[in-house]
Amino acid sequence: MSTSVVVVESRTSDPVARKGTEVVNVDAPEQQRQLPPMEIFLDLDRSGPVPLYHQVAERLERAILDETIPAGSRLENEVDLAARLSVSRPTIRRAIEQLVGKGLLVRRRGIGTQVVHGRVTRNVELTSLYEDLQRTGQHPETRVLGHELSPADEEEATALGIPVGETVLRVQRLREADGVPIAIMENILPPAFADLERSSLEEHGLYQILRARGVSIRVAKQRIGARAGTAKECSLLDIARGSAVLTMQRTAFDSAGQAIEFGRHCYRPDLYSFEVTLVER
């Protein structure tokens, strides 16, 4: 049995973290009261472009985050739910699966589906640090420290799937949020993107720029680690010399499975951390 395990979201930063950590665990431990799952499903759009299962999942998720459906409570069973919403069971199942994947619901055969206990951590959708920061209401700024064409070393070539020595665009940026430095990012881009302009990198996230060019990132492989920062890194991040930094190496692939970007980043660990939810399949 190769029960591989699966994760769900990633990467949250907020300098003001922990502030919203109040527990709302008023419920009795064994509580499983069968809340009649309210009809917050009445506005399903059956002709629009949004998939039915997604609409259902959205409404369910909202209700769970609202605690309209309280933590720990049981959901109505699949067949009844399907009947009440006038959708097929596979459709309702797909919606539920989506939330199981997000770690909001748990299913047990023969038992039922329950809302996971415990504080729900806000999901962070992914794209790039720039957009993460925007989304959390901060004001990201970027300083381009370096921007040059040079030959790929072996690690870079391997990651991008190009020959060693091929000319690549090498960009170094410092990312700040509300004036505080958060990350130093080095990105290596294959020849096709060698014309990316320095100025646009100051104003937009890398992934925004790529998306505007019709490139959409579909898969990214990351390695997260730590080490002591170099003198230069510490000075840029405005931390004491020799301090720890959080590091992330990433290779991103587009929808054709082609490597698009390789990056080596380091983060100020007091201002940034990665959040991941693992879900057993």
Residues at the contact surface with DNA, assessed by CB under 7 A: 49, 51-54, 75, 77-80, 86-91, 93-94, 107-113
31 Cβ partners below 8 Å, 6+ apart?
70, 72, 73
Binding of a second copy by 83 (CB under 8 A): no
Q: Which is nearer to DNA, 24 or 50 (CB)?
A: 50
230 Cβ partners below 8 Å, 6+ apart?
none
Binding of a second copy by 245 (CB under 8 A): yes
73, two tokens: 């409570």
* Partner interacting with residue 53 (select from a second copy, DNA, none; CB below 5-8 Å by kind): DNA
Residues 162-201 that bind a second copy (CB under 8 A): none
* Partner interacting with residue 36 (select from a second copy, DNA, none; CB below 5-8 Å by kind): none
* Partner interacting with residue 179 (select from a second copy, DNA, none; CB below 5-8 Å by kind): none
Residue 187 — φ and ψ, nearest 5°? -120, 140
Q: Which of 91, 134, 230, 273 binds a second copy (CB under 8 A)?
A: 273
Binding of a second copy by 213 (CB under 8 A): no
Interface stretch with a second copy, choices 78-86, 139-147, 194-202, 243-251 (CB under 8 A):
243-251
Identify whether the C-beta of residue 98 lies closer than 8 Å to the C-beta of residue 59: no
Q: How far is the CB of 277 from DNA (least distance, A)?
A: 18
Does the CA dihedral 175-147-251-237 come out positive or negative? Answer: negative
Q: How far apart are the first and last CA of the chain?
A: 11
* Partner interacting with residue 28 (select from DNA, a second copy, none; CB below 5-8 Å by kind): none
Rounded to the nearest 10 degrees, what angle do helices 52-66 and 89-101 cross at? 50
Residue 262 — φ and ψ, nearest 5°? -125, 130
